[in-house]
């Protein structure tokens, strides 16, 4: 691999396989107890790896316009659990066979950088061992209600006009194979799900999370703002053209509710100049969804802080909580019976070459020492059938299980 080298310390990765280089850097960060994130944006080949030389910051809310470059990792319920920020002190991107090192640190951190590079060199030249990662023990809580009963309770609440929609979730604990290798599985996810944001987040405070989410929460690219409404799910038939996909009234209405939620957020801030595209059918691995895109020119609307304002208004969206937001959150808190933790929260790089890309943390799992906790939810409306919603969560689990169960 070729590399743009720092003037003060060098890290030559030429001659090493990409997977071995990523594993070595990852293991160096774990060995030094440092937080890190790895990600690949949808429809791209480039894999980014970012490490902080200090503990993660707890932040009230990200200020996207003034933030340092870094990576944000937020829980589903930001009122009860802190949003975390990994500052970019070491950033390497792998594009095909080239590794590009980004210079992000101040001179005062040069000693830490040298120590880290020394540890990478030690890891890359030694015999490969079983990869380790940060583990944060989480109680394996069994929900009080069976998922189908939870769905039925949601339908009752909707029919009594307490809610318009609710998105109950469930978790599933699986055993990891003894030869489980996180980076190998991560690279397999990247190959399998080109349309997804594929990530690993590993830090002492949260443990390690692996995911491949199809849902953009928001993107700010210079003066362009973008968000999407993604809802409605069905299994993909690879022998059938996407143009032949038929959607039920329940799925169409579910997706329309998410679109209306975004438009209502625009109305709250008196934003009328936006472009709406869709809905259209999109592929998300083994599934199909309905998606509508919303775009705003922040320069033309004179709204440079739109990203920060909309992030606070949008999360958690009706696609992961329900409508109205407060009532659906109360229903989830009272009846769901699991700790969502960072599932259905948000994550992504901030101020990376003046671009911020934040995604909803779906199709994800938390890695424990020999187990993993997977999470999935389904949108419940008045027309929901409990068995079908249960089957939808099983299909969503399979996004990761199909890769976990495949040969390494």
pLDDT in the model for residue 105? 67
Choice between 129 and 320, residue whose per-residue pLDDT is larger: 320
Q: What proportion of the chain, given as a percentage, has pLDDT over 90?
A: 85
The answer, yes or no, to whether residue 312 has pLDDT greater than 80, is yes
What distance in Å separates the CA atoms of residue 33 and residue 55, rounded to the nearest whole number? 9
The predicted pLDDT at position 8 comes to: 39
Determine which of 43-47, 105-109, 174-178 has the lowest per-residue pLDDT on average. Answer: 105-109
Mean pLDDT taken over the chain: 93
Percentage of residues of the chain with pLDDT beyond 70:
95
Distance CA 116, CA 319 (A): 40
Q: SS in 3 state form for the chain?
A: CCCCCCCCCCCCCCCCCHHHHHHHHHHHHHHCCCCEEEEECCCCCCEEEEECCCCCEEECCCCCCCCCCEEEEECCCCCCCCEEEEECCEEEEEECCEEEEECCCCHHHHHHHHHHHHHHHHHHHCCCCCCCCCCCCCCCCCCCCCHHHHHHHHHHHHHCCCCCEECCEEEEEEECCCCCCHHHHHHHHHHHCCCCEEEEEEECCCEEEEEEECCEEEEEECCEEEEEEEEEEEECCCCCCHHHCCCCHHHHHHHHHHHHHHHHHHHHCCCCCCEEEEEEEEEECCEEEEEEEEEEECCCCCCCCHHHHHHHHHCCCCCCCEECHHHHHHHHHHHCCCCCCCCCCEEEEECCCCEEEEEECCCEEEECCCEEEEEEECCECCCCCHHHHHHHHHHHHHHHHHHHCCCC
Q: How far apart are CA 16 and CA 337, in angstroms?
A: 46
Domains of the chain and CATH, by start: 18-125 (no CATH), 147-404 (3.60.120.10)
Q: Say whether pLDDT at 10 is over 80.
A: no
* pLDDT recorded at residue 108: 62
Region of residue 388 (left: phi > 0; alpha: psi -120 to 50; beta: else)? alpha
Cα–Cα distance measured from residue 165 to residue 158, given in angstroms and rounded to the nearest whole number: 7
Alpha-carbon distance of 8 to 6, in angstroms, equals: 5
With 60 as the cut, is the pLDDT of residue 4 above it?
Answer: no
186 φ/ψ sector (left φ>0, alpha ψ -120 to 50, else beta): alpha
Residue 288 pLDDT level (bands cut at 50, 70, 90): very high
135-166 pLDDT, tens per residue? Answer: 987 666 677 789 999 999 999 999 999 999 99
| Lowest mean pLDDT, pick from 117-131, 137-151, 236-250, 313-327 | 137-151
Residue 352: CA count within 13 A, CB half-sphere: 25
* Alpha carbon distance 277, 290 (integer Å): 12
pTM above 0.85, yes or no: yes
CB neighbours of 30 closer than 8 A, spacing ≥ 6?
A: 132, 133, 134, 202
Residue 7, pLDDT above cutoff 70: no
Averaged pLDDT, 99-124: 85
12-16, 201-205, 310-314, 388-392: range with lowest mean pLDDT: 12-16
pLDDT in tens, 347-384: 999 999 889 999 999 999 999 999 999 999 999 999 99
Question: For residues 313 and 343, what is the distance between their CA atoms, to the nearest angstrom?
Answer: 18
Rounded CA separation 173/250 (Å) = 30
Provide the pLDDT confidence category of residue 254 given band limits of 50, 70 and 90: very high
Q: How confident is the model at residue 408 (pLDDT cuts 50, 70, 90)?
A: low
CA dist 302 and 280 (Å) reads: 30
């Amino acid at each position: 691999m070729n590399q743009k080298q720092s003037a003060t310390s060098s890290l030559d990765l030429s001659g090493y396989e990409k997977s071995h280089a990523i594993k070595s850097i990852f293991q160096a960060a774990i060995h030094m107890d440092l937080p890190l994130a790895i990600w690949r944006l949808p429809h791209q080949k480039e894999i980014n790896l970012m490490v902080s030389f200090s503990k993660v910051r707890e932040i009230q809310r990200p200020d996207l316009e003034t933030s340092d470059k870094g990576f944000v990792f937020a829980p589903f319920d930001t009122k009860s659990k802190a949003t975390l920020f990994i500052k970019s002190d070491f950033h390497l991107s792998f594009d095909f066979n080239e590794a590009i090192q980004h210079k992000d640190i101040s001179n005062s951190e040069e000693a830490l950088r040298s120590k880290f590079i020394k540890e990478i060199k030690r890891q890359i030249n030694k015999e490969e061992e079983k990869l380790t990662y940060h583990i944060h023990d989480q109680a394996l809580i069994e929900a009080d209600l069976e998922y189908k009963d939870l769905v039925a309770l949601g339908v009752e609440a909707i029919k009594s006009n307490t809610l318009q929609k609710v998105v109950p979730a469930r978790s599933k604990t699986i055993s990891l194979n003894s030869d489980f290798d996180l980076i190998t599985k991560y690279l397999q996810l990247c190959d399998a799900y080109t349309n997804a944001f594929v990530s690993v987040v590993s830090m002492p405070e949260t443990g390690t999370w692996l995911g491949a989410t199809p849902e953009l929460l928001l993107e700010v690219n210079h003066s362009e703002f973008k968000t999407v409404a993604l809802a409605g799910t069905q299994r993909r038939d690879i022998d059938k053209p996407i143009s032949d996909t038929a959607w039920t009234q329940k799925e169409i209405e579910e997706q329309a509710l998410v679109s209306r939620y975004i438009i209502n957020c625009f109305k709250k801030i008196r934003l009328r100049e936006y472009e709406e595209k869709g809905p259209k059918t999109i592929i998300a691995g083994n599934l199909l969804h309905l998606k509508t895109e919303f775009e705003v020119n922040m320069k033309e609307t004179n709204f440079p802080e739109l990203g920060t304002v909309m992030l606070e208004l949008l999360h958690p969206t009706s696609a992961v909580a329900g409508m109205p937001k407060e009532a659906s959150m109360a229903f989830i808190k009272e009846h769901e019976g699991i700790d969502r933790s960072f599932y259905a929260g948000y994550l992504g790089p901030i101020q990376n070459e003046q671009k911020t890309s934040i995604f909803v943390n779906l199709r994800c799992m938390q890695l424990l020492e020999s187990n993993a906790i997977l999470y999935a939810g389904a949108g419940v409306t008045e027309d929901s059938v409990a068995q079908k919603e249960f089957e939808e969560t099983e299909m969503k689990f399979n996004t990761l299980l199909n890769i976990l169960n495949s040969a390494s």
